[in-house]
Structure 1
Amino acid sequence: MSVEEPRTIVLLRHAKADWNDGDDHERPLAERGRMDAPLVGRKLAQTGLRFDLALCSTATRTRETWKLAVPELPERPKTVYEERMYEASLGELIALLNEVSDEVRTLILIGHNPGIHGLADALAGESDGDLLPRMNRTGFPTGAYATLTFDGSWKSVEHGVGRLVDFWSPHA
């Protein structure tokens, strides 16, 4: 695959999680999250995207979101559970993207706010219609995803390289 071929990245925030007094990393999905996650999977399936790779935070709520969403997809992508995504800064998320193999054309990241929203906003140098202001107005709710496209290598991912082509939330 040429590094000049267009690439697509979907940034998915985990579905609604329960609050607990324990370890934040181990928070499970709330009932609404367990209902929304398969809906997210169905919506992603409707896009026609075929993911080459899924990078998922190791937190319980992200793993549960992906476990409930992925059966709705026509093909199950290779999934890597990445510890560095939990509480990752914008710079750390971009560094992670820079490590992705150029064999990957379509990638999905399943993570957390504020990182996922910050990454979508930072990468979106352009957007279709009112997607960027709409995404920023909603604050990127749980279960929402943003789809961005860009040309070039994953190593070239930096602020403003992408075009925001889709934004969806289960409770918009």
Structure 2
Amino acid sequence: MKEIHLIRHSKSDWSDTHLKDKERPLSKRGRKNARFLGKYVEKVSFVADTALVSPSIRTSETWKILQSFQNITKDTKIISEIYEAEYSDLLRILRGLSFKINNVVLIGHNPGMEDLANYLLVGNNPDSLFEKFPTSSFISLVTDQKDWADLGRQSCRLKRFWIP
């Protein structure tokens, strides 16, 4: 059994129009919501074998806040391909994980995160399960697949879905 935990970064700050998208930090509201998520993560004693984090400032800041509440993992990898990734790119990254890893947290961006969650839950069904996967959202999925290479071959089960 494998667990996939998807977290969309918290709300970013748009006040500095000179910053590139990847360089935008969290807004005041984003930091607040990340702390709310951190408290939830601490409450459920959430841990993972590894974390795959987009290289954007807002995802790094979200992850740092979460780790300050609960030491989720000691193994964090910044993966450049997560930034602007479509769900198929994210699925490929997950399918490349070692079979020794049993649970992973992935912190990234929409629409890729929302599309990945929908794909893992309902497959190629055109009906979307989510109308919106807002910033600071946290979803945990479970699959009976023993190897990450088989992820998505059968639907995952929803374990938890938290929205600030």
What is the TM-score when the length of structure 1 is the normalising length? 0.85
Q: Does 1:16 align with 2:8?
A: no
Identity %: 35
1:124 aligned counterpart, secondary structure: helix
Report the CA distance between 1:142 and its aligned residue.
Answer: 0.5
State yes or no: 1:161 paired with 2:158: no
Whether 2:144 is the aligned partner of 1:147: answer: no
Give, in whole Å, the separation in 1 of the partners of 2:34 and 2:151: 28
- What are the equivalent positions in structure 2 for 1:76-87 lying under 5 Å apart? 76-87=73-84
Is the Cα–Cα contact under 8 Å of residues 53 and 108 in structure 1 kept in the other structure? yes
Q: Verify the 8 A CA contact 1:150 1:161 in the aligned structure 2.
A: yes
* Structure-2 separation of matches of 1:32 and 1:159: 38
Q: Counterpart in 1 of 2:93? A: 96
Greater per-residue strand proportion: 1
Letter paired with 1:32: R
How many pairs are equivalent?
A: 157
Whether contact under 8 Å (1:122, 1:160) holds in the other structure is no
Letter of the 1:38 counterpart:
R
What is aligned with 2:58? Answer: 61
Residue 114 in structure 1 maps to residue 114 in structure 2: no
Asked if residue 52 in structure 1 is aligned to residue 45 in structure 2, the reply is no
| Cα deviation, residue 111, structure 1 | 0.4
Q: Give, in angstroms, the shift of residue 125 of structure 1.
A: 3.4
Q: Secondary structure at the match of 2:77?
A: strand
How far off is 1:39 after superposition? 1.8
CA shift at 1:49, angstroms? 3.0
AA aligned to 1:157 is L
Query: What do you get for the CA RMSD once the two structures are aligned?
Result: 1.7
Q: What CA distance in whole angstroms lies between the structure 1 residues aligned with 2:71 and 2:24? A: 28
> Which consecutive unaligned segments of at least 5 residues does structure 1 have?
1-5, 127-131
